């Protein structure tokens, strides 16, 4: 038996395995003072570990942990609600600005009815309502979008006119049609898939508009 084997034996004993003390082992300990001291130290370690006090948790820690866990759970749930509501509000607002603005823009530009018996005050004096602001914002957005689109189309047209028309190879229209069919079907699928989303958004805007106070048809103070 050598020292490394003795160390291995010692480790197995400290692992809790029941290892026999063979005569070879005893002989090695007798002639190797290092291993002998190590074994003695291991015995002392085992003695000490038996008396090693377990650091018991203090009284009240369990209650504090449970309280903290429930507080944390409530706080996280509240955060989730607030975030969800904020997200929903943001979406609804964006939809209002987009759809409601578009819907109201013609009525804003309409001339006042001449036959109306009630005189209408100049626009500067009327306080703008939420509906007016939304409409105005929508109008600006729409006009900007349409302006940008027109400019892009115009620019593309100019570029296309400058490009020399290449001689295109003859295309088999039947095979082109067959190739385009999956694309068309995919497009149709996407638009069908988006339909519920569009409907939901439309319903949400409708509900929101129903909640808005009615527009003042008569100027105040008259």
Partner 1 sequence: METWTQVGNVNADNDAMLVRRCLHGDAEAVRLLVNRFQGDVFGLCVRLLHHRHDAEDVTQEVFLRIFRSLRRWDSQRPLRPWILRIAVNRCRTLLAKRTRRPELVDYLQDSVPAPPADDSGELVREIEAAVAELRLEYRTAFVLFHERGQPYEDIALAMDRPVGTIKTWLHRARLEILNFLRRRGMVGDGAEEQSSARNGREPT
**What does the binding site for partner 1 look like in residue numbers (CB under 8 A)?**
7, 11, 14, 37-38, 40-42, 44-45, 47-49, 51-58, 61-62, 64-66, 68-70, 72-73, 76
Q: How far is the CB of 32 from partner 1 (least distance, A)?
A: 14
Q: Is 36 or 129 the residue whose CB approaches partner 1 more closely?
A: 36
**Nearest alpha carbon to residue 39 among 24, 26, 48:** 26
Q: How far is the CB of 81 from partner 1 (least distance, A)?
A: 16
Q: How many angstroms separate the Cα of 29 from the Cα of each of 6, 33, 79, 173?
A: 9, 7, 67, 97
Q: Find how far residue 115's CA is from the centre of its chain.
A: 54
Task: Identify the burial level of 9 via C-beta atoms within 10 angstroms of its C-beta, where 0-12 means exposed, 13-18 middle and 19 or more buried.
Answer: buried
Cα separation, 180 vs 186, whole angstroms: 10
Q: How far is the CB of 15 from partner 1 (least distance, A)?
A: 8
Q: How far is the CB of 47 from partner 1 (least distance, A)?
A: 7
Q: Is 30 or 181 the residue whose CB approaches partner 1 more closely?
A: 30
Q: How far is the CB of 51 from partner 1 (least distance, A)?
A: 5
Q: Is 74 or 202 the residue whose CB approaches partner 1 more closely?
A: 74
Q: Is 74 or 123 the residue whose CB approaches partner 1 more closely?
A: 74
Q: Is 73 or 123 the residue whose CB approaches partner 1 more closely?
A: 73
DSSP state, 58? Answer: P
For 98, residues 6+ apart whose C-beta sits below 8 A from its C-beta are 138, 141
Residues 28, 1 contacting (CB under 8 angstroms):
yes
């Amino acid at each position: 038996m050598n020292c490394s084997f003795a160390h291995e034996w010692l480790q197995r004993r400290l692992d809790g395995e029941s290892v026999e003390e063979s005569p070879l082992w005893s002989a090695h300990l007798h002639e190797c003072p290092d291993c002998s001291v190590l074994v003695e130290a291991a015995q002392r370690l085992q003695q000490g570990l038996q008396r090693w006090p377990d650091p018991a948790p203090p009284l009240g820690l369990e209650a504090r942990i449970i309280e903290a866990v429930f507080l944390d759970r409530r706080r996280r749930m509240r955060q989730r609600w607030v975030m969800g509501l904020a997200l929903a509000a943001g979406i609804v607002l964006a939809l209002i600005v987009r759809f409601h603005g578009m819907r109201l823009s013609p009525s804003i530009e309409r001339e006042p009815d001449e036959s109306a018996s009630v005189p209408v005050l100049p626009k500067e004096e009327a306080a703008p309502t939420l509906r007016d602001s939304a409409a105005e914002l929508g109008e600006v957005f729409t006009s900007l979008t349409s302006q940008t689109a027109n400019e892009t189309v115009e620019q593309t047209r100019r570029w296309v006119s400058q490009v020399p028309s290449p001689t295109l190879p003859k295309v088999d229209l039947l095979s082109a049609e067959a190739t385009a069919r999956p694309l068309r079907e995919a497009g149709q699928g996407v638009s069908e898939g988006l339909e519920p989303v569009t409907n939901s958004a439309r319903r949400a805007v409708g509900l929101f508009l129903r909640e808005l106070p009615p527009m003042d048809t008569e100027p105040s103070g008259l």
